[in-house]
């Protein structure tokens, strides 16, 4: 549904604007979850734990690239 997609995009954009820990990885994962798994069924405790761990990992900034020529 186009309105659902618009709602998800709007909420994620708003979150990225307001909260610096909403990284690109978090945004991508939340969009995927809101358009799929989270909208289809109630999650079990195990599934919620997996989602939470993945989102926390996504909040970590990407490590700086190192020069491999050394």
The one-digit pLDDT tens for each residue of the chain (70 residues) are 455 788 889 999 999 999 888 888 899 998 988 888 887 788 899 999 999 999 899 888 767 777 666 5
For residue 55 the two structure tokens come to 């989102």
Q: With contact defined as beta carbons under 8 Å apart, do 12 and 27 qualify?
A: yes
CB atoms within 10 A of CB 33: 16
Q: Pick from 18, 19, 28: which is nearest to 55 by CA?
A: 28
Q: How many Cα atoms within 13 Å fall on the side-chain side of residue 45?
A: 0
Q: Could you tell me the pTM of the whole model?
A: 0.67
Domain ranges of the chain: 2-59
Q: With contact defined as beta carbons under 8 Å apart, do 38 and 29 qualify?
A: no
What 8-state DSSP symbol labels residue 57? H
């Amino acid at each position: 549904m186009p309105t659902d997609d618009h709602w998800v995009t709007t909420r994620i954009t708003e979150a990225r604007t307001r909260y610096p820990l909403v990284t690109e990885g978090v945004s991508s994962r939340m969009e995927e979850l809101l358009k799929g798994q989270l909208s289809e069924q109630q999650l079990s405790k195990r599934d919620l734990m997996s989602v939470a761990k993945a989102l926390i990992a996504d909040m970590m900034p990407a490590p700086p690239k190192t020069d491999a020529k050394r």
